[in-house]
A = this chain, B = another copy of it.
């Protein structure tokens, strides 16, 4: 029986915390630590230790009562749960200022994601490249994405055309979209969307100031 068989209807909010746990474990590992526990993780993350134990228990626990967690073991289990044992290829749509910044960000490659193709509709940008990755015309989306079986895309186009781009991506097999355009996307069931919009985060904080 694999871990996957234990996963029934895990709330998405729990899934959303797992990458945060994983990131904390990676930092502890970098500091040379081998063991941790829910109290230490909770203090570091501002999450109650009970919540962490409850979240991890949904996948079978990963630790022995009273002994805490072996960091390397828990990392590996979270990689397995989150399907991170292999590197994922990503298509980036948009090679303007924002797209270029996204393409230059080193954190993707360091943590298991590789931008393998870039598309833009500006003829002046096509055939240029960003860090060695050629910018392809939008017409290539329909062939390149299925050809390489790419399932994840990042949208970094103006808000006015983001929905149209999303529709195209879904039509050619994309199932997960990280959307940098400041607009909500409507997608069919089975297509997952996450948003990066720093302004909404700032506005959430100004309420309290």
Contacts and interface: CB of A to CB of B under 8 A. Distances in A.
Contacts of A209: 83, 151-152, 175-176, 192
A68 interface: no
A165 interface: no
Interface stretch (A69-77, A116-124, A134-142, A200-208): A200-208
Interface string A174-199: 01101000111010000010111111
A202 B198 contact: no
Interface stretch (A32-40, A49-57, A97-105): A97-105
Nearest to A205: B176
Interface string A140-183: 00000000000110100001000000000000000110100011
Contacts of A192: 205, 208-209
How many copies of this chain sit in the oligomeric assembly? Answer: 2
B176 A19 contact: no
A22 B199 CA distance: 11
A126 interface: no
A206 B111 contact: no
A20 interface: yes
Give the bracket for the number of chain A residues in contact with chain B. 35 or more
Nearest to A177: B205
A41 B184 CA distance: 11
B151 A19 contact: no
B206 A201 contact: no
Nearest to A194: B201
Contact of A19 (B20, B104, B204): B204
A201 B202 CA distance: 18
Interface of A: 12, 15-16, 18-20, 22-24, 27, 43-46, 81-84, 88, 90, 97-98, 100-102, 104-108, 111-113, 151-152, 154, 159, 175-176, 178, 182-184, 186, 192, 194-209
